Amino acid sequence: MILERNTLRELVIPMYKIISFSLWGDDPIYLVGAIRNAELALEIYPGWTCRYYIGSCVPKETTDTLSRFSNVEIVNKDKAGDWTGFFWRYSPASEHDVEIMISRDTDSRLSLRERAAVDEWMESDKGFHIMRDHPYHRFPVLGGMWGVKRGVLSDMNNIITNFNKENYYEIDYKFFAESIVPLIKDNVIIHDEFFGGNKFPTPRDEYNFVGQIFDEYEETVDEHMQIIKNYINNG
């Protein structure tokens, strides 16, 4: 379903749950991943809506495929997209009719491990959720591994506007460290078995992890797998 942003407000059902993605460019790793996550969400997050903020250079074929999913909303952006496009997906935090939102990456995959962590957070009294699940996850908040409940960051759009959004990879890490962490540091549950936090509710499946990168052929990054394997086995 393709919705213009000014009509989306009139059509949505109040109090709904959003899985938010940004998508721009034509790299298959992200295009295929976007579609794959829409498929996975039907099973892992039934009743949730995958919202894709899509840059103007994304191939029409991908947009058309996504629009055929019953659990997908598309918000077309008038920009081609660059690294600041990461911020598009954070907008639902400001919306009064979004009960809960989680931000995810299209080159990762939704999983039962993350869903169990999200459920534990939702049942808690904490408004913000952070996951870190690999030795490389050394940042306070990773852009595709967090969530927020309604009203906790209702000023998110203004916070983003006031932040100096330079166009480089990892700019969103700086944004969270400087602009978000101070606001939520006493209202957060963290699932992180490497740098201090709660254990994930489910056991790890071999050496797989939340936030794991997949290419368009569903292949993972060997280096990432070896790092976590060594860390777990050698401490």
Q: Are 230 and 224 in contact (CB under 8 A)?
A: no
Determine phi and psi for 198, rounding to 5 degrees: -75, 145
Encode pLDDT of 110-168 as tens digits. 999 999 999 999 999 999 999 999 999 999 999 999 999 999 999 999 999 999 888 87
Which is nearest to 128 in space by CA: 113, 150, 143, 110? Answer: 150
Average pLDDT, the chain: 94
Share of the chain above pLDDT 70, in %: 94
Q: Is 18 helix (H, G, I), strand (E, B) or coil?
A: strand
Q: Is the dihedral of CA 28, 29, 30, 34 positive or negative?
A: positive
Residue ranges in 53-178 assigned as alpha helix (H): 60-67, 112-122, 156-162, 171-175
CB count in 10 Å sphere of residue 225: 16
Measured CA to CA, the distance from residue 70 to residue 188 in angstroms comes to 32
Measured CA to CA, the distance from residue 56 to residue 16 in angstroms comes to 26
Residue with tokens 């840059």: 55
CB count in 10 Å sphere of residue 46: 8
Measured CA to CA, the distance from residue 134 to residue 159 in angstroms comes to 28
Encode pLDDT of 169-182 as tens digits. 889 999 999 999 99
CB count in 10 Å sphere of residue 32: 19
Q: What domains can you pick out in the chain, each with its CATH number?
A: 5-234 (3.90.550.10)
